[in-house]
């Protein structure tokens, strides 16, 4: 397995973890009062949108040639940092 494939697997594993986290947050939101539930569902929708963007980035990586994947990787890492921050922020809101 080459470096690109390993990197892609790492990203896919992270997406799966984030998707599982979204599922947990949905379960938590379903137990909240109506006002809180609306706010939490908004957060969840935003997270889901970001995860979907992450999936698109992984698809871009998969489609990139072995020679061009390094340049795609730079864009992915920026998006990944943003997504990771969004999950941390959302987790903090759910703990409140």
Per-residue pLDDT tens digits of the chain, which is 96 residues long:
788 899 999 999 999 999 998 999 899 889 988 888 888 899 899 889 988 988 998 898 889 888 888 888 887 888 788 888 887 887 777 776
Domain assignments of the chain as residue spans, ordered by start? 3-14+36-95
Per the listing, tokens 């494939």 go with: 5
Q: What is the per-residue pLDDT for 73?
A: 84
- Distance (Å, whole) CA 30 – CA 52: 22
Predicted TM-score (pTM) of the model is 0.83
């Amino acid at each position: 397995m080459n470096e690109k494939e390993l990197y892609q697997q790492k990203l896919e594993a992270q997406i799966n973890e984030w998707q599982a986290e979204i599922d947990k947050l949905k379960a938590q939101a379903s137990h909240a009062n109506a006002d809180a539930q609306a706010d939490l569902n908004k957060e969840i929708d935003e997270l889901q949108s970001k995860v979907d963007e992450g999936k698109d980035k992984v698809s871009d990586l998969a489609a990139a040639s072995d020679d061009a994947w390094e340049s795609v990787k730079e864009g992915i890492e920026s998006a990944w940092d943003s997504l990771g921050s969004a999950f941390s922020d959302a987790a903090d809101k759910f703990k409140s």
